[in-house]
Amino acid sequence: MFFQFIIPYWDQSLSSFENIIWFILAYAIFFLIIALLLKVGLGMFDKSEKAEPLKVLITASIIALCYVLLSLFVYTFIAWILILIISIAIINLRHRIGFLNAFLVTTVIFFIYFLITFILGLMSGKSLAIPFW
């Protein structure tokens, strides 16, 4: 169905212990990449002390957790759109940098993330740009 947004077989992706471990590993790597890119993005658009490491890690963990929950139940493309909107709101609220700067930081973060995973995907021969596509 074209207008079906909820994944009906979401529980099959976590059907074995090995799948659960791979799932946790993939999102731990996603969390670390997002935290690093968030630190870089906040440093690019805001030179104040709003990019302190603990605050960035908490923000990145909230973003990664939102993406994990959304990607389990909602199709990937729609989950990416929703997580972009949620990321802009979270960065804006947690770091108080303004909506436009939060939009620019989020755009830079996800653009660099796609670029890194696209290059890694080309080197490995797999599609890594969007996890679990």
Closest CA to 73 of 8, 1, 131, 4: 8
The structure tokens 């731990």 sit at 28
Spatial separation of the C-alpha atoms in residues 53 and 30, rounded to whole Å: 17
Whether 89 has a pLDDT exceeding 90, the answer reads: yes
Which three-class secondary structure state does DSSP give residue 6? strand
Residue 42 and residue 51 in contact, taking contact as beta carbons nearer than 8 Å: yes
Chain centre to alpha carbon of residue 97: 19
pLDDT one-digit tens code per residue, 3-54: 455 566 666 667 778 877 887 887 788 888 888 888 888 888 766 566 788 8
Start-end of H helices in 1-133: 17-45, 53-73, 76-95, 99-124
Residue 16 and residue 25 in contact, taking contact as beta carbons nearer than 8 Å: no
Residue 133 has a pLDDT of: 44
Residue 17 has a pLDDT of: 83
